[in-house]
Amino acid sequence: MKAAHGRLISEEGLRHDGRRPDEHRPVKMEVGVLSNADGSAMVEFGRTKVLAAVYGPREPPQRFMLLPDRAILRVRYHMAPFSTSDRKSPAPSRREVELSKVIREALEPVVISELYPRTAIDVFVEVLQADGGTRTAGVTAASLALADAGIPMRALVAGVAVGKVDGVLVLDVDEVEDSAGEADLPVAGAPDLGLITLLQLNGVLSEEEFEQALDMAWRAIEDLVRQEKEVLRRKYQGVSRA
Protein backbone atom coordinates (compact mmCIF):
# COMPACT_ATOMS: atom_id res chain seq x y z
CA MET A 1 0.00 0.00 0.00
CA LYS A 2 1.18 3.53 -0.77
CA ALA A 3 1.81 6.03 1.98
CA ALA A 4 -0.31 9.18 1.77
CA HIS A 5 1.28 12.26 0.17
CA GLY A 6 4.57 10.40 -0.32
CA ARG A 7 5.03 10.27 3.44
CA LEU A 8 6.14 7.14 5.22
CA ILE A 9 3.13 6.87 7.53
CA SER A 10 -0.31 6.91 5.89
CA GLU A 11 -3.36 8.74 7.21
CA GLU A 12 -4.54 5.40 8.63
CA GLY A 13 -1.29 5.15 10.57
CA LEU A 14 0.19 2.38 8.41
CA ARG A 15 3.69 2.16 6.98
CA HIS A 16 4.70 2.27 3.30
CA ASP A 17 4.49 -1.54 3.11
CA GLY A 18 1.19 -1.72 4.99
CA ARG A 19 2.64 -2.73 8.37
CA ARG A 20 1.46 -1.29 11.69
CA PRO A 21 4.19 0.66 13.54
CA ASP A 22 4.84 -2.23 15.97
CA GLU A 23 4.75 -4.96 13.33
CA HIS A 24 7.85 -6.97 12.37
CA ARG A 25 8.33 -8.06 8.78
CA PRO A 26 7.58 -11.74 8.15
CA VAL A 27 10.37 -13.78 9.79
CA LYS A 28 11.80 -17.02 8.48
CA MET A 29 14.48 -19.05 10.24
CA GLU A 30 16.15 -22.26 9.19
CA VAL A 31 19.14 -24.11 10.65
CA GLY A 32 21.57 -26.59 9.12
CA VAL A 33 21.36 -25.09 5.63
CA LEU A 34 25.04 -25.74 4.75
CA SER A 35 26.47 -29.22 5.08
CA ASN A 36 30.15 -28.17 5.01
CA ALA A 37 29.87 -25.83 7.99
CA ASP A 38 29.79 -27.07 11.60
CA GLY A 39 26.66 -24.97 12.06
CA SER A 40 24.61 -22.74 9.81
CA ALA A 41 21.40 -20.76 9.61
CA MET A 42 19.38 -18.63 7.23
CA VAL A 43 17.29 -15.77 8.58
CA GLU A 44 14.89 -13.60 6.62
CA PHE A 45 13.30 -10.38 7.86
CA GLY A 46 11.04 -9.63 4.91
CA ARG A 47 13.30 -9.14 1.89
CA THR A 48 16.47 -9.08 3.99
CA LYS A 49 18.13 -12.50 3.73
CA VAL A 50 21.20 -13.41 5.75
CA LEU A 51 23.15 -16.63 5.90
CA ALA A 52 25.46 -17.50 8.81
CA ALA A 53 28.07 -20.26 8.85
CA VAL A 54 30.11 -21.33 11.89
CA TYR A 55 33.37 -23.29 11.91
CA GLY A 56 35.10 -24.45 15.07
CA PRO A 57 36.29 -24.55 17.69
CA ARG A 58 39.39 -25.12 15.54
CA GLU A 59 43.05 -24.27 15.35
CA PRO A 60 43.51 -21.43 12.86
CA PRO A 61 46.64 -21.03 10.68
CA GLN A 62 47.68 -17.85 12.56
CA ARG A 63 48.37 -19.45 15.94
CA PHE A 64 49.82 -16.24 17.43
CA MET A 65 46.25 -14.91 17.73
CA LEU A 66 45.16 -17.65 20.10
CA LEU A 67 44.39 -17.01 23.78
CA PRO A 68 45.61 -19.37 26.53
CA ASP A 69 42.38 -19.24 28.55
CA ARG A 70 39.58 -19.21 25.98
CA ALA A 71 38.57 -19.46 22.35
CA ILE A 72 38.68 -16.34 20.19
CA LEU A 73 35.53 -15.46 18.29
CA ARG A 74 36.18 -14.18 14.78
CA VAL A 75 33.30 -12.68 12.83
CA ARG A 76 33.20 -11.65 9.21
CA TYR A 77 30.16 -9.69 8.03
CA HIS A 78 30.00 -9.42 4.27
CA MET A 79 27.40 -8.11 1.83
CA ALA A 80 27.32 -10.14 -1.37
CA PRO A 81 27.88 -7.88 -4.42
CA PHE A 82 24.47 -9.01 -5.71
CA SER A 83 22.68 -8.24 -2.42
CA THR A 84 21.64 -4.71 -3.39
CA SER A 85 20.25 -3.16 -6.55
CA ASP A 86 22.93 -0.43 -6.33
CA ARG A 87 26.32 -1.79 -7.20
CA LYS A 88 28.18 -2.77 -4.05
CA SER A 89 31.93 -3.06 -4.34
CA PRO A 90 33.20 -6.58 -3.64
CA ALA A 91 36.13 -5.09 -1.69
CA PRO A 92 35.64 -5.08 2.11
CA SER A 93 34.22 -1.69 3.10
CA ARG A 94 34.72 0.23 6.35
CA ARG A 95 31.06 -0.48 7.09
CA GLU A 96 31.66 -4.24 6.79
CA VAL A 97 34.68 -4.03 9.09
CA GLU A 98 32.59 -2.08 11.64
CA LEU A 99 29.64 -4.46 11.41
CA SER A 100 31.93 -7.49 11.84
CA LYS A 101 33.09 -5.97 15.13
CA VAL A 102 29.58 -4.98 16.23
CA ILE A 103 28.24 -8.49 15.56
CA ARG A 104 31.21 -10.11 17.33
CA GLU A 105 30.59 -7.94 20.40
CA ALA A 106 26.89 -8.85 20.28
CA LEU A 107 27.76 -12.57 20.46
CA GLU A 108 30.83 -12.65 22.74
CA PRO A 109 28.94 -12.33 26.07
CA VAL A 110 26.88 -15.48 25.38
CA VAL A 111 29.54 -17.81 23.96
CA ILE A 112 31.18 -19.93 26.70
CA SER A 113 34.61 -19.50 25.16
CA GLU A 114 36.51 -20.59 28.32
CA LEU A 115 35.70 -24.19 27.41
CA TYR A 116 37.94 -24.08 24.34
CA PRO A 117 41.29 -22.40 25.10
CA ARG A 118 43.74 -21.90 22.22
CA THR A 119 41.08 -22.31 19.53
CA ALA A 120 39.10 -20.05 17.21
CA ILE A 121 35.41 -20.03 16.48
CA ASP A 122 34.74 -18.50 13.07
CA VAL A 123 31.41 -16.94 12.22
CA PHE A 124 30.68 -15.86 8.64
CA VAL A 125 27.67 -13.61 8.13
CA GLU A 126 26.82 -13.31 4.46
CA VAL A 127 24.10 -10.90 3.39
CA LEU A 128 22.41 -12.40 0.33
CA GLN A 129 19.74 -9.73 -0.02
CA ALA A 130 19.78 -6.38 1.78
CA ASP A 131 16.68 -4.39 2.64
CA GLY A 132 17.58 -2.85 6.00
CA GLY A 133 18.31 -4.59 9.28
CA THR A 134 21.14 -6.75 8.03
CA ARG A 135 23.20 -6.42 11.23
CA THR A 136 20.27 -7.46 13.43
CA ALA A 137 19.24 -10.31 11.11
CA GLY A 138 22.97 -11.20 11.04
CA VAL A 139 23.20 -11.44 14.85
CA THR A 140 20.05 -13.57 14.88
CA ALA A 141 21.40 -15.92 12.17
CA ALA A 142 24.81 -16.14 13.88
CA SER A 143 23.20 -17.06 17.21
CA LEU A 144 21.27 -19.88 15.52
CA ALA A 145 24.35 -21.07 13.60
CA LEU A 146 26.46 -21.15 16.81
CA ALA A 147 23.77 -23.23 18.52
CA ASP A 148 23.54 -25.46 15.44
CA ALA A 149 27.34 -25.97 15.63
CA GLY A 150 26.91 -27.19 19.21
CA ILE A 151 28.94 -24.31 20.67
CA PRO A 152 27.98 -24.01 24.36
CA MET A 153 26.15 -20.73 24.93
CA ARG A 154 24.75 -19.05 28.04
CA ALA A 155 21.69 -17.95 26.04
CA LEU A 156 20.50 -17.23 22.52
CA VAL A 157 20.60 -13.70 21.13
CA ALA A 158 18.50 -11.94 18.52
CA GLY A 159 18.30 -8.43 17.15
CA VAL A 160 15.95 -5.89 15.63
CA ALA A 161 16.12 -2.22 14.67
CA VAL A 162 13.52 0.33 15.73
CA GLY A 163 13.31 3.52 13.71
CA LYS A 164 11.49 6.83 13.77
CA VAL A 165 9.68 7.86 10.61
CA ASP A 166 7.38 10.86 10.29
CA GLY A 167 7.69 11.20 14.07
CA VAL A 168 6.40 7.64 14.69
CA LEU A 169 8.44 4.81 16.25
CA VAL A 170 8.43 1.78 13.96
CA LEU A 171 9.67 -1.77 14.53
CA ASP A 172 12.08 -3.54 12.17
CA VAL A 173 12.88 -0.72 9.75
CA ASP A 174 13.45 -1.60 6.12
CA GLU A 175 15.82 0.23 3.78
CA VAL A 176 13.29 2.89 2.68
CA GLU A 177 12.49 3.75 6.30
CA ASP A 178 16.14 3.59 7.29
CA SER A 179 17.27 6.02 4.63
CA ALA A 180 14.36 8.46 4.96
CA GLY A 181 13.72 8.15 8.70
CA GLU A 182 14.77 10.41 11.54
CA ALA A 183 16.41 7.73 13.70
CA ASP A 184 17.54 4.12 13.67
CA LEU A 185 18.15 2.12 16.87
CA PRO A 186 19.51 -1.38 16.25
CA VAL A 187 19.33 -3.51 19.40
CA ALA A 188 20.36 -7.10 20.11
CA GLY A 189 20.32 -9.05 23.31
CA ALA A 190 19.73 -12.22 25.26
CA PRO A 191 16.35 -12.09 27.01
CA ASP A 192 17.17 -15.17 29.11
CA LEU A 193 20.03 -13.23 30.69
CA GLY A 194 18.29 -9.83 30.61
CA LEU A 195 21.33 -8.64 28.68
CA ILE A 196 21.58 -6.10 25.86
CA THR A 197 24.63 -6.92 23.74
CA LEU A 198 24.23 -4.41 20.90
CA LEU A 199 22.84 -0.91 21.07
CA GLN A 200 23.49 1.75 18.47
CA LEU A 201 21.66 4.96 17.69
CA ASN A 202 21.81 6.78 14.43
CA GLY A 203 19.83 10.05 14.54
CA VAL A 204 18.07 11.68 17.45
CA LEU A 205 15.43 10.38 19.89
CA SER A 206 14.06 12.09 23.00
CA GLU A 207 14.59 10.26 26.29
CA GLU A 208 10.97 9.12 26.27
CA GLU A 209 11.15 7.93 22.66
CA PHE A 210 14.35 6.07 23.46
CA GLU A 211 12.65 4.21 26.35
CA GLN A 212 9.66 3.36 24.14
CA ALA A 213 11.87 2.24 21.26
CA LEU A 214 13.92 0.03 23.56
CA ASP A 215 10.74 -1.57 24.99
CA MET A 216 9.46 -2.20 21.47
CA ALA A 217 12.78 -3.76 20.43
CA TRP A 218 13.00 -5.88 23.55
CA ARG A 219 9.52 -7.39 23.08
CA ALA A 220 10.43 -8.25 19.47
CA ILE A 221 13.77 -9.77 20.57
CA GLU A 222 11.95 -11.96 23.12
CA ASP A 223 9.69 -13.15 20.35
CA LEU A 224 12.61 -13.78 17.95
CA VAL A 225 14.45 -15.83 20.58
CA ARG A 226 11.27 -17.88 21.15
CA GLN A 227 11.27 -18.57 17.39
CA GLU A 228 14.97 -19.50 17.47
CA LYS A 229 14.31 -22.05 20.21
CA GLU A 230 11.39 -23.47 18.28
CA VAL A 231 13.47 -23.90 15.11
CA LEU A 232 16.31 -25.58 17.04
CA ARG A 233 13.89 -27.82 18.94
CA ARG A 234 12.26 -28.88 15.69
CA LYS A 235 15.61 -29.85 14.22
CA TYR A 236 17.08 -31.60 17.24
CA GLN A 237 14.02 -33.17 18.82
CA GLY A 238 11.93 -33.58 15.73
CA VAL A 239 9.05 -32.14 17.74
CA SER A 240 7.35 -28.81 17.72
CA ARG A 241 6.02 -27.26 20.93
CA ALA A 242 3.73 -24.26 21.06
What does the binding site for ligand ADP look like in residue numbers (CB under 6 A)? 84, 86, 88, 95, 130-135, 161, 175, 178, 184, 186
In the complex, the smallest distance separating the C-beta of residue 127 from ligand ADP, rounded to whole angstroms, is 7
Toward ligand ADP, which CB reaches closer, 145 or 187? 187
Toward ligand ADP, which CB reaches closer, 57 or 133? 133
**Distance (Å, whole) CA 21 – CA 237:** 36
Question: Cα–Cα–Cα angle for 117, 121, 127, nearest 5°?
Answer: 165
Side-chain half-sphere exposure of 169, counting CA atoms within 13 A: 19
Toward ligand ADP, which CB reaches closer, 82 or 236? 82
Q: Are 213 and 150 in contact (CB under 8 A)?
A: no
Question: Cα–Cα–Cα angle for 111, 115, 120, nearest 5°?
Answer: 70
In the complex, the smallest distance separating the C-beta of residue 145 from ligand ADP, rounded to whole angstroms, is 18
In the complex, the smallest distance separating the C-beta of residue 239 from ligand ADP, rounded to whole angstroms, is 34
Toward ligand ADP, which CB reaches closer, 40 or 134? 134
Beta bridge partners of 53: 40, 124
In the complex, the smallest distance separating the C-beta of residue 135 from ligand ADP, rounded to whole angstroms, is 3
Encode burial over 83-104: b for 16+ CB neighbours within 10 A, e otherwise: beeeebeeeeeeebeebbebbb
